[in-house]
Amino acid sequence: MSLTGKVAVVTGSGQGLGLAYAQELARQGASVVINDVNAEVANAAVATITDAGGKAIAVVAAVGSTDTAKKLVDTAVSTYGRLDIMVTNAGILRDTVLWKMSDDDFDAVITVHLRGTFTCAREAVIYMRENEIAGRIICIGSPTGQRGNFGQTNYAAAKAGIVGMVRTWALELKKAGITANAVIPVAATAMTATVPYFAAAIEADAKGETMPDFFRKTLGFGTIGDVAGLVAYLASDDAANLTGQAIGIGGDRLQIYTHPEAAATEYHESGWSSADIAAAFTGPLASSAQSVGEKFPALPDDLVRESAK
């Protein structure tokens, strides 16, 4: 598999997961446009690629606006002659419970994650369609968007919306040969580093050691490098027939998420009264209500002791 001759934009790629995606795309031969709001961070990211013999250039701008999206696409085309791959990774967090979340908290996260994904994908697709390029739209989702998470109303809404857009784009872009997929990463990041449950895994990663099997295999939780291969695969010609999917990856685990489907179905002659509905939810539908949030198994004793250190 090779991305030689391909050109990619990766938003929010100054560090963390975004940088890992950009580095892997470059390693496989793509020229990359790095994006971050911090010039020093963005330029350092570019250096990690160019020092390794790859091609990269930085665009310092906040994702969300159409102007930034146009600038990213224009930079790719003016610098490298084309655009084949758009990876929408940029994001921020403003976590708090619903009753404490301000309008600004909500709008800021929606603007970067959801609107930023929309504007960047739209500009990329306009270019790809006009130039008959069978391109790749790769959007970054989250388990929170699939199942919800305490204190993340804004983030959950944005990430769920991204997967909804990807499914729609897969339909709209099929004729043009452009694919659209969502990646659902589970990895050691600045966010997971603060969670005691992951302490043993984070500590091992920080030391350059392999994470315990419980995390890599049972939880599907690994390093940022574990996720990058999926982005490179989805960017490649090998993935030309894969579109509209939400694909989870982390540690040693790879998953395809189902599209939402009815978990149970009942019919009632002449429609449903509130009393009929009440009877259904204490009868045939009683066991079909869906769980919310991530459910983690108990840590093994040796990892509990490790986390307590």
Q: What is the spatial distance between Cα 215 and Cα 122, in angstroms, rounded to a whole number?
A: 37
Contacts for 101-110: CB closer than 8 Å, 24+ residues apart? 101/153, 101/154, 105/154, 106/153, 106/154, 108/154, 109/154, 109/155, 109/158, 110/154, 110/157, 110/158
CA distance 108 to 93: 9
Contacts 24+ apart (CB under 8 A), 113-116: 113/155, 113/158, 113/159, 113/162, 114/157, 114/158, 114/161, 114/162, 115/64, 116/11, 116/63, 116/64, 116/68, 116/69, 116/88, 116/90
Specify whether the CB–CB gap between 223 and 205 falls below 8 A: yes
174 secondary structure, DSSP code: G
Q: Which amino acid is at 261?
A: E
Nearest CA among 86, 60, 222 for reference residue 162: 86
Report how far residue 196's alpha carbon sits from residue 209's, in angstroms, rounded to the nearest whole number: 18
Euclidean distance between CA atoms 76 and 256, whole angstroms: 31
Q: For residue 81, give both structure tokens.
A: 């002659």
Active site residues: 155
